[in-house]
Structure 1
Amino acid sequence: MTDRQPSEPSGPTEPSGPSGRPAPPPPPGRLRHRPLSPLREHLRESFWVAPLVTCVLAVLLALGTSWIDSEVVHEEISETGSAEGLLSFASGAKAVVSTVSSAMLTFIGVVFSISLVALQMAASQMSPRVLRLYVRSRITKATFSTCLATFLFTLLVQLGYDDTTDPTKVTTVPVVSTLVAVVLVLLSLGLFVLYVQSTMRLLRVPHVIDRVTRESVAVLTTYRWMAPEAGPRLEPPTDAVTLLHQGNSGVLRDVSLGRLVRIARKHGAVLHLVPRIGDFIAPGTPTVVVSGGTPPRPGRIAGALNIGVDRTMHQDLSFGFRQLVDIAIRALSPAVNDPTTAVQAVDRIHQLLALLAGYPFGELRYRDRAGAVRLVQPIPDWQCTVDLAFTEIRICGAGQPQVSRRLTAAMDDLLRITPDERRPPLLAQRDLLERAVAAEVAEADNRAFALTPDRQGIG
């Protein structure tokens, strides 16, 4: 294994070898991966940051345009001695801004309420986990933020209206403010069209499956660059100290690896993480095993753990498989009965397992700046990954020949490309699939048909 410092910056995408399989990692001195701090992912998972920033910008923009308008009116009056031309523009401008202000908030509420209802229906058809794609969507945040900013901007502009009809007493006319409001409306409409297109894509199962797969490939690529050790796990010494969790209960979403390395270096110890990313932990659950040095306070360890109510893709190698399996087994439920969707999910599961076929499993180890190992993180092994990928789909889809044929083709293909030491889990799944089909299908000819490999299921 090649150990990396968590502070190294991100780098190039993973190259491919002549056969299409991923090329071996570059030498340790050239190894790079994306930053390990979870702050960026936390911001992407939140929906309030972008609207808050754009609303602040809208306030500043309203103040700026109001100042420019007052300067324009002052200069116009100074040059012509009258503001009659500006007053003729003011009546129409005020009507436009007032209309935009009153209509925009209603537009936001109606459009996004209908969209959330549609997405909730889509989640019931696929999996509740897919709603995170909507929350993380950049176009969704941009549309919502721009519409809110437009409403706030036009509302603030109206506060600066001068209602006088005497040209000699005019102090301001919203010329620039009106033009900016019109630009914001046009931008909101353009983003709305893109938002509708993006939402329609999120309501289609193939696009959701593709998004989940692309995120999973990104996570797998990141961990491949971090080069986990292929050998046996490092067992902490017998005199190691186990620290128990002190904090809220929930799912371990991710950990601040850089912070844990700094804590371990400060105490001259090595921290062995006990739970994997995605595990549920409660107060009293073992979190780290400390070997060497002095144990840190449990509260400091808890501060480096991000505990939430659901899982995220960041640092979670198994969550992509979990989402694809959920989509497949929901499609195979009697309420939905859509084996074609299950086959599409199996296609992507096959893709991810093929990427992992030559992947070295074991542990991730992180070094401090002096080169000493300070943090050891467990990741799922090949057996766990294969079981997660196939077991539930095999049980639910044994009576669907389209699914069983696609599973057979995937397993046979993976058996051809995996090393010999990784074939037993696949062979076990292949045997269990044959027994499950035999239990569901009584006639021999139908059983033979159901177990014939077919990459399209039936077609």
Structure 2
Amino acid sequence: MRIGFKFIKTRLSNSWEAIHTSFWFIPSLMLLSAIVAALLMIALDKTIDIDSSSVSRILFDVGPEGARSVLATIAGSMVTVAGVAFSITIVALSLASSQFGPRLLRNFMKDVGNQVALGTFIATFIYCLIVLRSIYAGEENAFVPALSVNFGVLLAIANVGMFIYFIHHVATSIQADQVVANVYYELDNRIDLLFPNTIEAKENEDKASDVENEKQKYTGTYTINAHKSGYLQAIDRDGLVEVAQENNCLIDCQYRPGDFIVQGNKFVTVESMNQFDDDFQSHIESLFIIGSKRTPEQDAEFAIHQLVEVAIRALSPGINDPYTALTCIDHLGSILCKLVNRKFPSPHLKDEEGRLRVILKTTSFTTVTNTAFSQIRQYGNSHVSILKRLLENLITIATLAQQQEQSAVIQHHGEMIERAVREFVPEKDDQEEVISHYRELMHVLDQKN
């Protein structure tokens, strides 16, 4: 038995997600680069003799003590600037956590601009320290690395520009519209990766009765319980098919990426003619990545939950920012408009011979729509503007809907909004304003049918 190449890529992607969302990775790379650059510049200074040249007198006309003073000043300044940048970052993270939710901290921590800014300040400090220790004075063997010191001055000038950029970047990144836009762009790119194919024709999907008949072909049921608790982050779909084909069995997965698994609870059922040993169970478990938090690799609803959380917090009495909630609804509606034309993965995986081998719990347009709009409607059931904007987006989605499932879930959400406005909005004119949008939605859906 072996783990497929695609799953190796998934594991690498999972590891890369953890690395690049951390705040230390890029600064660490820049720190190592600064050490290498300092050593190379010192070696270059020892190789090239420019002490007597006119260029040297123009660019650098101080002795060892002057060089030490320059580098010490730059190094001390960079430590101060790095401390200020770190303090600003912590303040920004605190504001983001309280206003947008702690799960949005991932987006701020993985921000390349913040990481590069902090890494630049620290790298310049380390560079100056290494060059500083190479300077020595003597009557005959004095050594002043002119090129290295001048390069340090250039780095200090560049750091001034980087600090100005950092202040602007942080001030921009904590704005509500920018936060929502960043999450939306990540979600939009993730959809292109998870649902790359468009709907072309109606495929013949296995019926529930056909799946049950396939299960009846096997005489035994083998249950695999979760070896630890956590969120299911990724599944090796091809690996499961390969294992099922090699062992002539049917694997039924009870969870999908993004679901929380409790240790000891059943999460995989194997229909087979034979009994399997612990090695088989260990190999099946190796085809699932379970971690402490949700990740976007195979979780289509990951970023949707982030937008929903921002909208819900915006509707809370403590923040009371309905305009941010309206912005989130618009972006969620845009994503659903894109998904109406995308093919969702089949829950039934077959081998080369066309035999059913794996049953997965997959995401559908219904589950995504429920995730996007249900909680916002529940928390905003007394906000007329929120209910109107939900219906406006549902109307737009309905005009693009291509399948009966899509029209059905859109109609279901429209009916729930109509009931909510009659129950929670006392003003008759406000009720009528929302209900008029509901009637328009029903008209669009009737035309679809």
**Shorter chain as normaliser: what TM range?**
0.7 to 0.9
The alpha carbon displacement at 1:93 in A equals 2.3
Residues 72 and 128 of structure 2 are in contact (CA less than 8 Å); yes or no, is this contact kept in structure 1? yes
Matched, 1:425 2:405: no
The number of residues matched between the two structures is 418
Matched, 1:243 2:215: no
Residues 120 and 159 of structure 2 are in contact (CA less than 8 Å); yes or no, is this contact kept in structure 1? yes
Residues 121 and 159 of structure 2 are in contact (CA less than 8 Å); yes or no, is this contact kept in structure 1? yes
Do the aligned partners of residues 406 and 98 (structure 1) sit closer, same or farther apart at CA in structure 2, a change above 3 Å counting? same
2:424 to 427, 436, 440: 440
Residues 226 and 364 of structure 1 are in contact (CA less than 8 Å); yes or no, is this contact kept in structure 2? no
Counterparts of residues 235-314 of structure 1 (less than 5 Å): 237=215, 239-247=220-228, 249-255=229-235, 271-290=251-270, 296-314=279-297
User: For residues 337 and 125 of structure 1, what CA distance do their matches in structure 2 show?
Assistant: 10
1:143 to 108, 113, 117: 117
Matched, 1:334 2:317: yes
User: For residues 250 and 451 of structure 1, what CA distance do their matches in structure 2 show?
Assistant: 43
Do the aligned partners of residues 118 and 7 (structure 1) sit closer, same or farther apart at CA in structure 2, a change above 3 Å counting? closer
- Bigger mean CA offset, 251-260 vs 305-314: 251-260
Do the aligned partners of residues 365 and 134 (structure 1) sit closer, same or farther apart at CA in structure 2, a change above 3 Å counting? farther
Q: Amino acid of the residue matched to residue 93 of structure 1? A: A
Structure 1: segments with no counterpart, 5+ residues = 11-33, 455-459
The alpha carbon displacement at 1:351 in A equals 0.6
Do the aligned partners of residues 63 and 394 (structure 1) sit closer, same or farther apart at CA in structure 2, a change above 3 Å counting? same
User: For residues 134 and 247 of structure 2, what CA distance do their matches in structure 1 show?
Assistant: 60
1:169 to 133, 136, 141: 141
Deviations 1:304-354 (A, max 9, x none): 544333322222101121111111111111111111111111101111111
Residues 122 and 203 of structure 1 are in contact (CA less than 8 Å); yes or no, is this contact kept in structure 2? yes
Do the aligned partners of residues 190 and 311 (structure 1) sit closer, same or farther apart at CA in structure 2, a change above 3 Å counting? farther
Q: Amino acid of the residue matched to residue 150 of structure 2? A: L
Aligned to 2:38: 62
RMSD: 3.6
Q: Amino acid of the residue matched to residue 111 of structure 1? A: A
Deviations 1:103-134 (A, max 9, x none): 21221122122222123212211222221111
Residues 332 and 372 of structure 2 are in contact (CA less than 8 Å); yes or no, is this contact kept in structure 1? yes
Structure 2: segments with no counterpart, 5+ residues = 439-449
Q: Amino acid of the residue matched to residue 169 of structure 1? A: N
Aligned to 2:445: none
2:168 to 197, 216, 219: 197
* Structure-1-length-normalised TM-score: 0.79
Q: Amino acid of the residue matched to residue 195 of structure 1? A: F
Matched, 1:52 2:28: yes
- Bigger mean CA offset, 34-43 vs 206-215: 34-43
- Bigger mean CA offset, 369-378 vs 199-208: 369-378
Q: Amino acid of the residue matched to residue 338 of structure 1? A: D
* Structure-2-length-normalised TM-score: 0.80
Aligned to 1:30: none
The alpha carbon displacement at 1:403 in A equals 0.8
- Which SS does the other structure have where 2:223 is aligned? strand
1:159 to 133, 141, 149: 133
1:231 to 181, 197, 205: 205
- Which SS does the other structure have where 1:149 is aligned? helix
Q: Amino acid of the residue matched to residue 35 of structure 2? A: V
- Which SS does the other structure have where 1:363 is aligned? coil
- Bigger mean CA offset, 120-129 vs 252-261: 252-261
Deviations 1:358-409 (A, max 9, x none): 3333536778999998766432222222221111111211211111111111
User: For residues 139 and 185 of structure 1, what CA distance do their matches in structure 2 show?
Assistant: 18
Counterparts of residues 12-411 of structure 1 (less than 5 Å): 37-72=13-48, 76=51, 88-164=62-138, 166=139, 168-170=140-142, 172-225=143-196, 231-232=205-206, 237=215, 239-247=220-228, 249-255=229-235, 271-290=251-270, 296-363=279-346, 377-411=360-394
